[in-house]
Every structure is written in C-alpha cells, then in structure tokens.
A and B are shown apart, each in its own frame.
Chain A
Amino acid sequence: MIEALELTKKFTEFTAVDGLSFHVGAGEIYGLLGPNGSGKSTTMRMLLGILQPTSGTARIMGHGIANEIVAAKRVMGYVPEEPVLPERLTGWEYINYVADIWRIQRGPEREEEIEELLTLLDIRDASDDLIETYSKGMARKIGLVAALIHHPKVLILDEVQAGIDPRGAATIKEIMNGLRDRGASILMSTHVLEIAEQMCDRIGIINQGKMIAEGTMDELRLQAKGHSSLEEIFLSLTGGPDMQKIAEFLGEIA
C-alpha cells in the first residue's frame, strides 16, 4: 500500500512536485500519467528514498519514507525508465547480487526462480553476458527480474514497457495482473494511454507537479465531460497539440 501525503519537491528555482497526494491500495494498479517533466519520476524517486521530499511524506506498507526508508525499500520493487545497471556484471550475477541483498536464501529453489523469471522474459540466453552488451529492452527486462525476485508487495514501474518487444510487453502485462490479483500495490507511469486505460484500476493525471485529475476511468470521464477515451481526457486536461504550429511546420517542409 502506498500513501503519498502532500509530497513536494523543490529544486533551486523549480518546483518539480507540488503537494501531491494519492493512495494506492492493496491489489490495485495505479497509473500516474502526465506530460514529460510533469514530476512523475521525481515522485517515484521520493517514494524510493532516492530523493528526500522538501515537504510532505509518504508511507509504504505503513513504513514512513522519512525514518523507515530501509524497511520501506525492503518491500518495494522498482524498474526505472532508464535502468542504470552494473554494466560489468552479467545479468545472472546481478540478479543474484540483488537476491543476496534482499536476503533470499541461496540454493536450488532461488536458482530455479531466477531461471523461471529469466525464461519468462526471454532473457535467459543472455543472462551470462555482461550487462554492458544488453540492448535497452534487455536491460529493462533484467531490471524487472531484479524488481520481482524478492516478491515485492509494492511495485513501482516507470515506463516499464517502453522499448520492450510485443511478446515481452504482453508478458509484463500478465505478470502485473497476476501480482495485482495476489494483493500487490502497483504504481506505474506510462505514456501509452491505451495500456493505462486497459490495466489501471485508478489513474492520476499530474501536470507541473500538481494532481489535476484522479479516479477510475468512469470518474475521469465524468470530470472531463464529453470525452470518452483516456487520450481525449488527458489532452483536454494537459493541453493538446498546437495544430496551427503543426500546419505551419508542414507548410514549411512541403
């Protein structure tokens, strides 16, 4: 369970997240949507203890991120938008390193589970290679295996399906649905609104660090009258493309 309460992050002259509050319940997938630079990743990095909020707080399964961050991180799995992994380790070594840190008992059972996850995500054959040889999609898959190996109760996924092949994306979708059914709380961000529409139980739309709309798809439709798809709702709330500028540009290159 994730509870964010008035989370705020200010950099010198820039407020990246401005009094953001939301709640992700057990067995729920919550989609955090917003334009580029709207504060989604900063919010996630605060929940993970990488950044400290300027004000406000959050609780992960009851553990406050201010004073119980290690306990909070122990129940969390995270896949960043751009996984920065130890490039001079092999995928297999990295997953075992993560498993050691999370105190998963060594032995055949652990190895079997790692094998299973690697095979599921079509990355088994490359697991003995150095991570520096991986493509972005492969790195993201290894990042996902690392996030799942310790059976997190809270999963934070930042654009997890970006750059993943269709089969991998479908697998990830099934894994996420399965974890939700088993009671995990999942916070995900994505720019693919169809995915959010299909998968998320509730959606929060943020812009310039502020929550501008939140609810289930039905509730969002009510908030944005006359719009039925998430894309229409999103664009009506955050601003659509500048059609005049596009026409001017197309005119220039014609």
Chain B
Amino acid sequence: MNLSDLLLLLHEDFRKSFRVGRVKGKRTEQKSTLRRFFPVIGGTLVALFIIWIITTIVPLFGWPFVAELISENLGIGATIFNAILLFSFIGSIMVSASTVGNSSKMEYVLIMPISMRTIFLEKTIYVILYNSILWQLVGVSIFIGLSIASSSLFAFLSIPVFVVLVLGVITIGVSLGGLLGLLFSKLLAGRRTLKQIGWFLGSAAAIVVSVFYYYAIYSSDSGELFQWLFAITNALGFSSDMTPGYAVSALSLSVLVGVPIRIQDVLMGLVFLLGGVFLVYLNAVVSEKAHYSGWLASGSKRTSAKLESLSHATWNPQPIPGFTFNQTVSVSIWYNIASIRREGRVLAQYLVGPLRFVIFLILPVFAVGEEAMIFTPFLILAALIPFAISYGVYFAGYEIVYEGKNIMTLQLAAANMADYIKGKVYSAVPFVIAATVIISVIIIIIDFSLLPYLPAVAIAAVFINVASGAIAANAAAIGGDFKAERIITRQRGSAVQQPIRGWSIVRAQVIPYILGYAGVFGMLGIGTLVGAVQGALIGILSVYIFLPIYAAICYFLFRRYSHSAGVKLAQIEASKYL
C-alpha cells in the first residue's frame, strides 16, 4: 500500500463529488456560483446556527450545571455515539459489495500502477469520510459551541479528540457492514436466484424490523419516549463502558468539561481506533479477494456448449395477463419488471419500503394516546396511499433515471417515449393491486363496517398510482441524474443520494401525496358527512359518485404528465445523446 497513491485517489474522488470551482469548458453546462457553493454555504450556516444556539443557551443555565450534566451522563453520550456506529453499519452493508460489483465502472483506476488492495481501501475510506460529513458537521459545531461556553482551559482539545474518535467509530461501522455484505456475496457467489431471494428477504427483514422499531417508539407513552429509548439501548448494551461509543463519549466529553481522564478509557479508545484501522484494511483485503474471485459476478449465460440455431418471433411480451398493450408499452412493462426483479434488494426496497412512510405518516397519530385508536381502520385505509404513490414514484420516476443512458441507447428513437413512460407506470399497477388486497383483508378483520368503502379506495389507489408514476416520471425527466448509475455512492436502490435531484424530487414525492391524501380523505370525508346527514347508504353512494370524478382527474394527470415526460426524454435523447 502506498500512502501518496491513496491520498491522490481520495483527492480526485472528492474533487469529483464536491466541485466548487467553475468548469471552464464551453461544452459544459455552467452552474451558478451560488449553486456551486451551496453545500459549503449551507454547511457553514448550519454550523454557525448550532454554535450560536449553544453559546446562547448554555450561559442561561451556567457552565457548571451543564458540565455536571455532561459528566454525569456519559452513558447517554455513549448511546448516541454507538447509535452512529449502528447507523454506519446498517447503511454500509452493501457498500463494499457494490464497489466490487461495479469495479468495471472504474476501470481507469484499475489499470493504474496501484495495488487493487489500495484501490478498494481508498473506496472504503471515501465512504467512511462521506458518511462522517453529517456527524462531523453537527458534532464539531456542538463541540465548538460547548468549548466556547466551557470554563475548562483545554476544552478546545475536545474537538480533535471528537473528530478522530468519531471517525474511528464510523470506520468500525462501515468496515463491519462492508465485510458482512462481502460475506453474503461469498456465501451466495454463483447462486444467482438464491442470492436474489437472500437479498430480498434480508432487505425486507431490515425494513420490517426498522418499522417495528419505530412502531415501538410511537406506541410507547409519548411522554416517556426518550426514557423508553434509553432503556432499550441500555438493555442492548449501548451505554456500556466497554463499547466504542463509550470511549468517544468518555474521552471527548471529559476533555471538554475538564475532568480527569481514566487510563482505561484512553486504552479502550486506542484499541477501538486500531480495531477500526484493522477492519478497514481487512475490508480492502476481502474486497480484493472478492474482485478477483468473482463473488459479485452476475453469472454469464454464455457457455462453451455447441452453437444452437435460434429463431425469434416479433417480440411483444404482454407481461400483464388479461391486458393487451402496443409493443412499446408492452416492452417497457416487461423491461421494468424484469430489471427490478433481477435485484432482490431493490425489489424489497421498492415493495416493502413504503412501510416506512406508513410509520412516519400514520403512526404519530397513535402517539396521541388511546383516544386516537378510533381512527385506526381509517388510518390503515390511508396506509394504502403511500404504497400506491411509492410504487408509482419508484417504478416510473426512479427507474427512468436508473435506466439512464440505456433509455437513450436502446434504439428507442422510433418508439413513442410517452408510451415507454406509460409502460413504466403500468408496471407498478399489479403490485398496487397486490398491496390493496393485503390491506383490504387487514381492514375487514379490524372493522367489517368499512367494507363498502373498500372498492372505492382500491380503485382510487390504482388511479393515484398511475398519476403518481406519470408525475414522478415527468419530474425525473426534468431533474433526473441520468449519470447516477456510474457513481459509487448513487447505486440503484441506495439511500445515499436520490436519483432525482433538487426541486424535482420534491415535485415527484409531494404532489402525489397531496393528490392521494386529498382525494381519498376528500372521498371518505364526503361519504362520512353525507352519511351523517342523509343516512349511511346515501353516504356510501356519494363516495361512489365522487370516485369517477377523482379517477378522471388522476387519469388526466397521468395522460398529461406521461406525455410531457415522453417529450422531455425524447428531447434529452436528441440533444445530449445523439
């Protein structure tokens, strides 16, 4: 391993990701100075705000009080730092495997006179530094603020201690996550179907567990939310003084408040730092092994067997049984479903992922307490909307971008791009119907009296889905990062960076949610209101009178935005890719 090579690789990776200087070339689209400096300005403002808040509030309580609070609660600090480790671990399970799997996209680096190990080491370090930006920004700002407020002579020394130790904690998390992903890859190497099922089940389990985790937080008595959280983390050993988080907490906070540092904490900090260095190096060694051994190879269909003559009829797959589409729509549906199905992890993210939205949107209501429980059936009904919308946004919006340059090189020039978009939108519908069936069964079990409303909501969900898909596809055509597939930190299905950027992602997500919730709650609200005045039957009927109007609005939006997205994509193809 050569340190100067490592630093050069890191320098160029950061230059690619955080370019603030203007590109001089005439062919390159110029970004405004504000846009180029936005991350720097934004980060600085956030840091200044945090420092200002702390230096304003701490004097109100007095430094001795705050110092005592800090030194008596090192366990809480340990919990927070161990949580950072856990986040880094969970968020990095696919990182090393993705880097190795996508090594063909960095061939220009692989041919450089640098060992493969150094290359993979640099990629892991890059991810560690990238992941630490947020924690360092917030953490360093807090430590600067507290150091200003502190009466301790050496308080400012806590800042470098914090920086180094948090980097160590994130290094442990990212390296362990990366090693776990590589281990899965090794176990499943060459077993493509098993690998996809494994990724699907693993990803789905992670989503469901995280959903239960949030559910547990929300369903606890709201006033004791944090006590409950700390009790759980204590039980899990997060506040234990034998954890990396405790070492960060004990060393950085002790320096901050000026209390004597225990030698065992120093030793533990050193052990964890060295452990981090060892793990990141081990990650590079295993990545190198994985690269050369083809653990991540997707399994060629080519064989050395004798040539067989093949004949092809005109390809028109018609992948949704019972429906006939024109060839462009049909191929688009097939391609979308086939490409998503090939990546079990992405399929799980897409199909089970909306559970998170359900938790964020619906369950806070339960935090109110028992009185909110009367809304339960309606809330479960409303839980269908995130599925309908997310499937539209993922299958049409995200996939348009992830398909990226492929769309432009699939020789689709002769095809109607609006039809291609419609195919992507339609590809989500079978999954929305499946989600609707599951949720309908749950609702019938919970409250049978809602049965008359179910068909209306189910039909509305399908229309919301197609409208959402078209709106998201249009947003993708405006602000999609079509180069996304080439960047390590923007892998398909990754949460690191959205495939649709800027205001376009807001447009892709928020407008469908407004449309979905306004429509369904409007429909149910009319039904409930009219039912209260005119009787239940008239109430239900009024829902079904409203439904066609709402469906027509959704269908209009679907037509309009799929056409608009198609035109925009055709323009991109003609201007950027021809």
Assess whether B112 is in contact with A73, with CB atoms less than 8 Å apart.
Answer: yes
Assess whether A87 is in contact with B15, with CB atoms less than 8 Å apart.
Answer: no
Q: Is B258 close to A, CB under 8 A?
A: no
In the complex, what residue of chain B is closest to A78 when comparing beta carbons?
Answer: B111
Assess whether B28 is in contact with A73, with CB atoms less than 8 Å apart.
Answer: no
- Contacts A11-B300, A37-B302, A88-B16; A126 near B104 (Cβ below 8 A): no
Kindly supply a per-residue 1/0 record for chain A positions 1-29, scoring 1 wherever the CB is within 8 Å of any chain B CB and 0 otherwise: 00000000001111100000000000000
Q: In the complex, how many angstroms separate the beta carbon of B303 from the nearest chain A beta carbon?
A: 5
Q: Is B315 close to A, CB under 8 A?
A: no
**CB-CB < 8 A to A132: which residues of B?**
483
Of A94-102, A161-169, A199-207, A224-232, the one touching chain B: A94-102
Report Cα–Cα, A74/B114, bound state, in Å. Answer: 9
Count residues of B near A (Cβ-Cβ below 8 Å): 36
**CB-CB < 8 A to B299: which residues of A?**
12
Q: Is A83 close to B, CB under 8 A?
A: yes
Contact of B108 among A71, A84, A90, A126 (CB under 8 A): A84
Q: Is B292 close to A, CB under 8 A?
A: yes
Contact of A52 among B27, B104, B292 (CB under 8 A): B292
Report Cα–Cα, A143/B108, bound state, in Å. Answer: 9
- Contacts A70-B114, A129-B28, A208-B304; A87 near B108 (Cβ below 8 A): no
Assess whether B23 is in contact with A73, with CB atoms less than 8 Å apart.
Answer: no
**CB-CB < 8 A to A247: which residues of B?**
none
Question: Which residues of B from 271 to 296 have beta carbons under 8 Å from A?
Answer: 292, 294
Assess whether B483 is in contact with A133, with CB atoms less than 8 Å apart.
Answer: no
Q: In the complex, how many angstroms separate the beta carbon of B299 from the nearest chain A beta carbon?
A: 6
In the complex, what residue of chain B is closest to A15 when comparing beta carbons?
Answer: B304
In the complex, what residue of chain B is closest to A10 when comparing beta carbons?
Answer: B304
Assess whether B302 is in contact with A84, with CB atoms less than 8 Å apart.
Answer: no
- Contacts A14-B302, A49-B116; A86 near B16 (Cβ below 8 A): yes
Q: Is B297 close to A, CB under 8 A?
A: yes
Report Cα–Cα, A71/B16, bound state, in Å. Answer: 28
State the majority secondary structure of interface residues on B: loop
- Contacts A100-B8, A101-B8, A128-B24; A89 near B113 (Cβ below 8 A): no
Kindly supply a per-residue 1/0 record for chain B positions 88-115, scoring 1 wherever the CB is within 8 Å of any chain A CB and 0 otherwise: 0000000000000000111110111111
Question: Which residues of A from 90 to 133 have beta carbons under 8 Å from B?
Answer: 90, 93-94, 97-98, 100-102, 126-130, 132-133
Q: In the complex, how many angstroms separate the beta carbon of B407 from the nearest chain A beta carbon?
A: 16
Question: Which residues of A from 189 to 235 have beta carbons under 8 Å from B?
Answer: 208
Q: Is A50 close to B, CB under 8 A?
A: yes
In the complex, what residue of chain B is closest to A101 when comparing beta carbons?
Answer: B112
**CB-CB < 8 A to A97: which residues of B?**
8, 12
**CB-CB < 8 A to A93: which residues of B?**
12, 15
Contact of B111 among A14, A73, A100 (CB under 8 A): A73
In the complex, what residue of chain A is closest to B106 when comparing beta carbons?
Answer: A84
- Contacts A80-B107, A97-B8, A100-B8; A128 near B25 (Cβ below 8 A): yes
Q: Is B26 close to A, CB under 8 A?
A: yes
Assess whether A74 is in contact with B113, with CB atoms less than 8 Å apart.
Answer: yes
Q: Is B227 close to A, CB under 8 A?
A: no
29 contacts across the A-B interface (CB closer than 8 A): A12-B299, A14-B302, A14-B303, A14-B304, A50-B111, A51-B292, A52-B292, A69-B115, A73-B113, A76-B111, A78-B111, A80-B107, A83-B108, A85-B108, A87-B486, A88-B16, A88-B17, A88-B19, A89-B16, A90-B28, A93-B15, A97-B8, A98-B112, A101-B114, A102-B113, A127-B25, A129-B27, A132-B483, A133-B28
